[in-house]
Structure 1
Amino acid sequence: MAGQKKQVSKARLLTFLALGLFFITLVASAEEYDYYSWQSDNFHNGRFYAKQPQCVDIPVDLRLCYTVGYKKMRLPNLLDHETMPEVLQQAGSWVPLLAKRCHADTQVFLCSLFAPVCLDRPIYPCRSLCEAVRDSCAPVMETYGFPWPEMLQCDKFPYDNDLCITMQFSMNHATQTPVSKACPPCDNELKSETVMEHFCASDFVLKMKIKEVKKEKGDRKLIAAQKKKKVLKMGILRKKDLKKLTLYLKNGANCPCSQLDNLGSNFLIMGRKVDQQLLLMSIHKWDKKSKELKYAIKYMKSHQCPTYHTVFQ
């Protein structure tokens, strides 16, 4: 029995080392290519590009993938984005999801598609990697009113084999960042950079007071006070919407939200309109002494947000 256990442990160790070596090999190989010829296989019914694919540096402003662990990416990528502006536009809307730490491999999975490693053939994420990230992150996305997108449906990706990217943290849970139990819209640092990301991702942004908080069908309902609200971004809101404003914290009936423990102060509220409901995207207490908040509020007046089709898509 002891011998069998040793054999199993040894097998697991060898498997882990093999997976790690595979990923390191991918990263190392990426540096060897400046240009390469590529023809798509039959995956996704195949696609042929008129322009020869290139290996390009991952730019600093591709924040989703700049810190992923390798320096070059193939373009067009595996989501059929053919230009860097298109990649930047689409990838930028996923940056807020990384901050939610819903799965340790979220960045690895997304960047394998948005900024794939440069090799002589496309290397897709394994289906198991997609499923692990989806199962952990889809509930967070649903909180914001976003379903798991069609372009990331896991049955599009190959079963685990030697030619797809596997989970990097599946065998070493100690390296994973603990997932917060707080409601996602309540779990944001008061940093100007974070505030601006949510500002751009939101339909409307307000400074306001909250009169009352109720629970309703698994959601938490925030009823705005009738006092004057300061509009920082009007978006899709109309003046009549401001008179009787009700926001919903999706699936937030029971998760902690420390900001709502005391309703005496003003709040920085950011939200989206989904199916006629106004959903809360982010909430901060309005801290007059916060330099980060002051900077963000000042920056909002002149900042031109990227044009995202939708966040997380």
Structure 2
Amino acid sequence: MEFHRSGSLPTKVMAVALGLFFLTSAASAEEHDYYSWQSDNFQNGRFYTKQPQCVDIPADLRLCHNVGYKKMRLPNLLDHESMPEVKQQAGSWVPLLSKRCHADTQVFLCSLFAPVCLDRPIHPCRSLCEAVRDSCAPVMETYGFPWPEMLQCHKFPIDNDLCIPMQFSGNQATQTPAFKVCPPCDNELKADTIMEHFCASDFALKMKIKEVKKEKGDRKLIAAQKKKKVLKMGVLRKKDLKKLVLYIKNGANCPCHQLDSLNSNFLIMGHKVDQQLLLMSIHKWEKKSKELKFAVKYMKSQQCPTYHTVFQ
């Protein structure tokens, strides 16, 4: 991971120096060693009940478990003081990683949710925030969510301060920009992917689709009247199921190969936003798929973490 800083040291030299500091500190630290951050218990106008500490990034913090370092600072840079709070808030962002809207999405989010342990907090650079925002905000808007207030880029330092810059500055998006396909349609039929969306969605159904229309730039999915199997009721009410209509926000013209043929059942997962039911993920219900069978079995036996509204 590289850092930017104004001064006489070049970026790469500074990165090495900080990296060596981190490795030295981490090697001598116990799991709950306390670090003497200059601000002690008072940061960003908020008083914390605990001093900052360096802890292992747990395996079930899926957003950041494989981010490239093993220990994180707590409280983090989003004012989360406990690991359960970090997991709860970070979990709703996991589906965004699968959209591959920007190569640095994980680096940016984890710099805030699970910041690396150093002698002072290191924020993401403003340019990193802007690059991820510009690529990922259109994907989030597809689900009906604006770029959140807590991630407004003007809050972060400009690039000549000590901060985390873009890691893939020459390649803002990944090699295959997933958002060219309607984001709800660009999900692998893998058990892990299905479960991530299931847990982060308000509702999940097995159902047939009668008709697909375009409406004011959105794509409108009208459910068939045949019996629907509810896998997760969530915010849905019985009257919603009788005349079920879902929308792919800004999805009138993006490709969605699942909807090329409506002859099969579908696994539908989504959110209720401003009285509209928005599609988050769609899969054809492939009876022979072992991944789908495993996921459905897991849905019945596994209790999801309590997520706040996805992407917020």
Classify the secondary structure of the residue corresponding to 1:124: coil
Deviates more, 1:63-72 or 1:183-192: 63-72
Cα separation, 1, equivalents of 2:109 and 2:115: 9
Seen in structure 2, the aligned counterparts of structure 1 residues 59 and 204 have a Cα distance that, compared at 3 Å, is same
If the length of structure 2 is used for normalisation, what is the TM-score? 0.89
Provide the residue aligned with 1:281 in structure 2.
280
The Cα of 1:209 is off from its aligned counterpart by: 0.7
Q: 1:290 to 1:48 in 2, by over 3 A?
A: same
Q: 2:91 touches 2:200 (CA, 8 Å); kept in 1?
A: no
TM-score, normalisation: structure 1: 0.89
Cα distance in 2 between the residues matched to 1:225 and 1:23: 57
Quote the Cα distance in structure 1 between the aligned partners of 2:244 and 2:173: 43
Instruction: Give the match's secondary structure for 1:196.
Output: helix
Query: Residues 29 and 118 of structure 1 are in contact (CA less than 8 Å); yes or no, is this contact kept in structure 2?
Result: no
1:22: Cα distance to partner? 4.1
Change beyond 3 A, Cα 1:263–1:26: farther
Structure-2 residue corresponding to 1:144: 143
Alignment partner of 1:296 is 2:295: yes
- 1:89 is displaced (CA, Å) by 1.0
8 Å contact kept, 2:101–2:173: no
SS at match of 2:62: coil
| Residues 138 and 23 (structure 1), Cα distance of their counterparts in 2 relative to 1, 3 Å cut | farther
Instruction: Note closer, same or farther for the CA distance 1:134–1:93 as it changes in structure 2 (3 Å cut).
Output: same
- What is aligned with 1:132? 131
Residue number in structure 1 paired with 2:206: 207
Aligned residues: 295
User: Identity of aligned pairs, percent?
Assistant: 82
Query: In the TM superposition, what is the alpha-carbon distance from 1:64 to its structure 2 partner?
Result: 0.8
1:72-111 matched pairs, under 5 angstroms:
72-111=71-110
Residue equivalent to 2:225: 226
Counterpart pick for 2:171 among 170, 173, 176: 173
Instruction: Structure 1: give runs of 5+ residues left out of the alignment.
Output: 1-16
Give CA-to-partner distance per residue, 1:186-208, whole Å, 9 cap, x none: 00000111111111111111111
SS in 1 for 2:306: coil
Q: Please point out which of 21, 30, 40 is paired with 2:22.
A: 30
Give the partner amino acid of 1:179. P
RMSD: 2.0
> In 2, are the aligned partners of 1:270 and 1:283 still within 8 Å (CA)?
yes
- Which residue of the partner structure matches residue 191 of structure 1? 190
CA distance, structure 2, for counterparts of residue 280 and residue 23 of structure 1: 42
In structure 2, stretches of 5+ residues that fail to align are 1-8
User: Following TM superposition, by how much is the alpha carbon of 1:296 offset from its aligned partner in structure 2, in angstroms?
Assistant: 0.7
Deviation at 1:19, TM superposition (A): 4.0
Does the Cα contact within 8 Å between 1:208 and 1:268 map onto a contact in 2?
yes
Residue identity opposite 1:77 in structure 2: N
SS at match of 1:252: coil
Question: Counterpart of 1:212 in 2: which secondary structure?
Answer: strand
